[in-house]
Amino acid sequence: MTNEAKASWFFGVGFAIFLVCVFVFAPQSLPQFKQQILAFICASLAGFFGAFFTGALLLNAELPLPGKWIVSGGAGFALFLIVLFWWRSSSAPIAAEITKPDVPVATSSGGHEPTHPVVVPPLDIPPITRGGAPIGTKFQFRYLKDNIECINETVKVSATDWEQRNSADSPASCNVDAFIFKSTERESNDHQYFLTYEEGRSLFTRLPNIPVGQTGPSDWRQLPSQTWNAGRSLTRVN
């Protein structure tokens, strides 16, 4: 076996093992700099494999990017660019977490909630769940505002998003200076709770995974603290 064939097998096997490890062990998203490092390693392995594979192989390929992007050249260079741009496209196997601009949140009183900078989540924040609670799941609790009973609700409004707001059944005076807090559901390591994370306040909340009509405790913690604090008792109404 020639040295070129040995090198081709070495980098080919390394490339395959790397991809298997990425799909099996890697999270669904990573900070942007780590995602780019993974992309470079993957592209380099593919490039070396192409450079040593049968020596004279040439490629002409269209990259998976908006518009028409064509790469022509030696196998190693072409494969390096193809894999690198694959990782930087929307089809990448691991998404990059990027900072989002401030977005004002409408409140039930017609105004806007003060904006908060949305930052890249730290690594100890679980990924966004692909299952979790059904859409429409709703919890409520009652509280007094100026001696008027108001109803607050936390409801899952999409496959990944929750909102905490005043219920439409609350008196109008309850909505004065009221905010709508938005969060995303995260993978929970405790089946007794649904886990949500609000980026603006770096706030985790655990909602009780209970049947409709029952009441259970919630708790919360705010990063960087790892201590859970007792929250309100919530009744699941949907």
Q: What is the pLDDT along the chain (238 residues), one digit of tens a residue?
A: 667 667 667 767 776 787 777 667 767 667 777 878 878 888 777 777 766 664 444 445 454 444 444 444 456 667 777 777 777 776 677 767 654 444 454 454 555 455 544 444 444 789 998 888 999 999 999 999 889 999 999 999 999 999 999 999 999 899 888 889 999 999 998 889 999 999 888 999 999 999 999 999 999 999 888 899 999 999 999 9
What one-letter code names the amino acid at 105?
V
pTM, 2 dp: 0.49
What is the domain partition of the chain in residue ranges?
3-97, 105-236
Closest CA to 158 of 195, 181, 133: 133
Distance between CA atoms of residues 40 and 23, nearest Å: 16
Domain 105-236: assigned CATH number: 2.40.128
